[in-house]
Amino acid sequence: MRKILVTGGAGYIGSHTVVELTSAGYTPILVDNLCNTSIQNIEGIEKITGNKIKWHNTDCTDKVGMDKVFSEEGTIEGAIHFAAYKSVEESSQNPQKYYDNNIGSLKVLLECMRKYKVKNIIFSSSCTVYGMPDVLPVAENAPFKKAESPYGETKQICEGILKNDTCNSVALRYFNPIGSHFSALIGDCSADRASNLVPIITEVAIGKRKKITIFGNDYNTPDGTCVRDYIHVVDLAKSHVLAMNFVLNNPGKHAFNVGTGIGVSVLDVIKAFEKANNLKVNYSIGPRRSGDIEQIYANGSLVQVKLGWEAKESLEEAMRSAWDWEKGKV
């Protein structure tokens, strides 16, 4: 039994990764207090995999609770650390919440790993570590510029903590995950109001919101709206399995971009959703939003060479699966 501890394993990316870990022969152990997700994802994982999932309802900043998890589970091969708050917008409004949780949870996890001799960790990082990059597509050796939000700053700090720790680590710098599992049984169950583009689009399409506001159309981009690198969450989940395989055989410190390498504007995402699902989405143009980077997309050559990973799913498929998830949400 090859146990992998997955903090935030009931969350959006975490739940998809638990499915892929199970398919690859690992035994995922979930740690999630459901503060920003739902038990629906745990039930969905079990339906997809046909397995009962071991789950600890524990706050990852709780030292005593996390110690109990490690002590109960015995030998653990590695950890994948997703547990963190994730809204760029909210982080600008309430930075202390992000510093306390995102940094605090990693510190507690690493303390437990040292105590129980767990040497390998995959860290859920972000392209926000690069700030406003000088060169596009952005590669892993690009310098970290000033973070555009407290959320991005927490990811920079966490990567620094990992570099100075004794563990073997892979920081996966995600670009923009979208879509859902093709079964529509797991997805983004965030308890708070959706703040990412595609969940907002699906909420408008289903009638939960009247319209989507595009924050700025005067950027130096082809259509004036921000450009991002959108990656299907199932593709992203698979990169974690490959990263775990890699770090178990390649001790040391590693960091990889995980993106498609294709920059897509906010307007083009809306159009792709409309085309994929034969729907119209009501939107308006608003002022620029604090913390937003003009454009960023990945140079993904390193992850392809080292992990053998590349994005397989199309933007249109992501849009279809996102809509299927929204329609089936309880």
- Alpha-carbon span 117 to 42, nearest angstrom: 28
pLDDT in the model for residue 290: 79
- Alpha-carbon span 36 to 23, nearest angstrom: 25
Residues of the chain with pLDDT under 50: none
Q: Which residues are known to be catalytic?
A: 151
Structure tokens at 125: 């990082």
pLDDT in the model for residue 15: 98
Helix H or strand E segment including 155: helix 150-163
Outline where DSSP puts E strands in the chain: 3-7, 27-31, 54-56, 78-81, 120-126, 168-174, 176-178, 212-215, 227-228, 230-232, 253-258, 264-265, 283-286
Burial of 84 (0-12, 13-18, 19+ CB in 10 A): buried
The model's pLDDT over 74-107, given as tens digits with 9 standing for 90+, comes to 999 999 999 999 988 899 899 999 999 999 999 9
pLDDT in the model for residue 289: 86
How many other C-beta atoms can be found within 10 angstroms of the C-beta atom of residue 278? Answer: 6
Q: Say which residues have a Cβ less than 8 Å from residue 64's Cβ, sequence separation at least 6.
A: none
Burial of 220 (0-12, 13-18, 19+ CB in 10 A): exposed
pLDDT in the model for residue 330: 56
pLDDT in the model for residue 1: 81
Count CA atoms closer than 13 A to 249's CA, side-chain side. Answer: 7
The domains of the chain, with CATH numbers, are 3-180+230-259 (3.40.50.720)
0.95 exceeded by pTM: yes
CA distances from 101 to 36, 53, 162, 271 (A): 13, 25, 16, 36
pLDDT in the model for residue 88: 85
- 172 close to 17: Cβ distance less than 8 angstroms: no
- 189 close to 199: Cβ distance less than 8 angstroms: no
Backbone angles phi, psi at 212, to 5 degrees: -105, 135
